[in-house]
Amino acid sequence: ARNLHCILVSSNELLRTEKGRVANALAAGLLEIVAEHKHSVARLDDQARNGVLLLSQLEQQLLKPARTLDAVKTVVETVMNQYLSGGTILHTLESRLREESDPLRRNAFLLLFNRAVTPYLTMLAKWVYLGYMPPCDIPEFLEDVKEDILSAGKHRDVLRGYEDSLVRTVSTNLAAEHMTGYPTPPVLSVDVFNPTPLHDMIRQSRAASGQAVLSLLTSEQVDLYGVLRTARRFILG
């Protein structure tokens, strides 16, 4: 975990990418698990020294955490040995989480997924609500709304590229609202076992931004040059 973290923080360029931010958050989650494991070992060692635990009991208590660390190690090796995008890292964690039956290991993978998905969702929100930085890869839990994600961001990019002076002439409140966009996009979160609420938010953004683009293209109060430029940006964007 420390090696992965050091590799990432040594490259500011990498930390600006989707992959870098997701992997860095994953490394932080791994360090969190390792720190908790060390704390548990120290506590058990103290109990053994004070005669509260027998050596055989100590070994039994350490067995499950050791298996958890071994399972987590495979994820680290996969990330470090393969060039994975942020979406693929999340897909790897999601797959392990769904396949895992052991409660301790499942909790570990859930923690890693929740840590790693946070920066991805932050970048996703900037695309879906502001039209900045399209995601490089879509993880499995967003596959059902892949087209909605791409379209919503494209709509926002079109609206963002439209000049403010022209927007002021648009009478449609919806168009004006989504032209100015969201100065701070909503904070997205996901339950990997029930991603429907997140899917609904993305679909709503696509519908609203699509309506705003249509309003701009059809408004009689916008000059023809502005409309044609917006249409060109939408088609070629």
The predicted structure's pLDDT at residue 183: 58
Task: For residue 182, count other CB atoms closer than 10 A to its CB.
Answer: 15
8 A C-beta contact, residue 202 and residue 150 = no
8 A C-beta contact, residue 195 and residue 141 = yes
Alpha-carbon Rg for the chain in angstroms: 24
β-partners of residue 194 are 191
The predicted structure's pLDDT at residue 69: 82
**pLDDT tier at 178 (50, 70, 90 boundaries)?**
very low
- Crossing angle of helices 2-9 and 18-49, in 10° steps, is 150
- Does residue 164 carry a pLDDT above 50? no
Q: Which is higher by pLDDT, 33 or 221?
A: 33
Please compute the mean of the pLDDT values over residues 185-202 and round it to a whole number: 92
- Does residue 158 carry a pLDDT above 70? yes
Summarised one tens digit per residue, pLDDT across range 70-110 is 878 888 777 776 667 788 889 889 988 888 888 888 888 99
- Cα separation of 145 and 198, whole Å? 9
| Global pTM value | 0.78
8 A C-beta contact, residue 174 and residue 150 = no
Q: Which is higher by pLDDT, 4 or 23?
A: 23
- Cα separation of 60 and 94, whole Å? 29
- Cα separation of 224 and 166, whole Å? 11
**pLDDT tier at 172 (50, 70, 90 boundaries)?**
very low
**pLDDT tier at 180 (50, 70, 90 boundaries)?**
very low
- Phi, psi angles (nearest 5°) of residue 194: -150, 75
**pLDDT tier at 15 (50, 70, 90 boundaries)?**
low
3-state DSSP percent of the chain in helix, strand and coil, to 5: 75, 0, 20
Please compute the mean of the pLDDT values over residues 229-233 and round it to a whole number: 57
**pLDDT tier at 179 (50, 70, 90 boundaries)?**
very low
- Does residue 115 carry a pLDDT above 90? yes
Across the chain, what does the average pLDDT equal?
77
